[in-house]
Structure 1
Amino acid sequence: MSDKVGGARQRLETPVESRFRIDWDAEALARSSERVARFLGTGRYLAIQTIVVVVWIALNVFVIALRWDPYPFILLNLAFSTQAAYAAPLILLAQNRQDNRDRVSLEEDRTRAAQTKADTEFLARELAALRIAVGEVATRDYLRRELEEIKDMLERLDGAENPTSQRKKNSGRKQTSSPVSPGVADD
């Protein structure tokens, strides 16, 4: 006898799926429970509930013809118990959903912090490398100082080679110079 008769044959120890299957969206249920939980935590809800309770008690105490829940207000207590029985799980669902969001947000924050730390360390290393490179590169001030020193040295050398031209410059007279070729002495 074959294992397949008219399709996939189930094993005897495997329970048969129910004919009536309810498909529900867990995310939609979580969103709606979160909305209810948020509403239950507002002052608006407390005001509405207080008004309903006051009207309920007033109608049952003062309007004799409408006494559907006499003094111990058992029906009102039953309504509060039912509300609490549904509100607590809805609040817990909303709280779990918020915990999940917080966990995801915390993970994103940790990832972002780690990336920021890595970026900061990278930039610090790059800055240190630039400082080392700049220390080896001639800066504008360094070049200016060196050129000033070379200019001073050239002026001293020029003054040592031509003491007469230096005296003439210092006396304020204009000098008419003729081109001097090397090896030719001044007359």
Structure 2
Amino acid sequence: MAVNRLDQPREIRRSIRPHYDPEAFGRLSEQIARFLGTARFLVYMTGFIAVWVLWNALAPRSLAFDPYPFIFLTLILSLQASYAAPLILLAQNRQADRDRVQSEQDRMAGERNQAEVEYLTREIAGLRLALGDLATRDYIRGELEHLLEEVRRPAAREDGAGGQKG
């Protein structure tokens, strides 16, 4: 009995089931679904049906596709619809998965942004409080002007008082 070791690759097992890459199949189904939803597809399908109907209605019976050509056309259209529906659903499921992942990433980014905004808001509030305790340039200028006025007033009083005595 072989022991499964993580440092060695597994042996390739042969199977009767066909192996396919689900991602590649999903991409192909999205391309088909994207094409089925275009005006080009509708024009091609309308042209195909018109040619089929005109050929089988106007061509001699010996050149017609089948004695019952419109039954075969119905069969072809039913077959196309039976493959188109699951391919479209597969493409929608893949898109829903991508949307879910994108939504989760957007939510996480929003939470990070909200946390950063809250942090910066707290930092700005802290700076405002710190600046409230510090003397600003305008405050110091105002105080110096006030002191200068006080120094000039007594000098003006002394000049005025000295001029009256003399």
Q: Same fold (TM over 0.5)?
A: yes
Residue 47, structure 1, aligned to residue 43, structure 2:
yes
2:10 aligned partner: none
Q: Gaps spanning 5+ residues in structure 1: where?
A: 9-16, 168-187
Aligned match for 2:25, one of 8, 23, 29: 29
Shift of 1:100: 0.5
Q: Distance in 2 between matches of 1:139 and 1:126?
A: 19
Give every structure 1 segment of 4 or more consecutive aligned residues whose post-TM-superposition deviation is greater than 4 Å.
164-167
For 1:100-179, list aligned pairs within 5 A: 100-160=97-157, 162-163=158-159, 167=163
Which has the higher Rg, Structure 1 or Structure 2? 1
> Which secondary structure state, in structure 2, belongs to the residue aligned with residue 22 of structure 1?
coil
Provide the rounded CA distance (Å) in 2 between the counterparts of 1:140 and 1:93.
68
Q: How does 1:79-118 map to 2 (within 5 A)?
A: 79-118=76-115
Rate the CA distance shift 1:44–1:166 in 2: closer, same or farther, 3 A. farther
Post-superposition Cα deviations, 1:134-173, rounded to whole Å, max 9, x if no partner, equal: 211111111111001111222233345x537975xxxxxx
CA contact (8 A) 1:60 1:70 kept: no
Indicate the structure whose relative CO is greater, using CA pairs within 8 Å and at least 6 residues apart: 2
Unaligned runs of 5+ in 2: 4-12
Instruction: Tell me the equivalent position of 2:8.
Output: none
Question: What is the alpha-carbon distance in structure 1 between the residues aligned to residue 93 and residue 162 of structure 2?
Answer: 95
Output the aligned Cα RMSD: 2.3
The aligned amino acid for 1:22 is: P
Provide the rounded CA distance (Å) in 1 between the counterparts of 2:80 and 2:124.
64
How many aligned positions are there? 154
In the alignment, which residue of structure 2 is the partner of 1:74? Answer: 71
- 1:106 and 1:166 map into 2 onto residues whose CA distance is 85
CA 1:96–1:22 in 2, change beyond 3 Å: closer, same or farther? same
CA distance in 1, matches of 2:35, 2:94: 16
Contact 1:69/1:76 (CA < 8 Å) preserved in 2?
A: no
CA contact (8 A) 1:37 1:90 kept: yes
2:105 and 2:160 map into 1 onto residues whose CA distance is: 82
TM-score normalised per structure 1 = 0.74
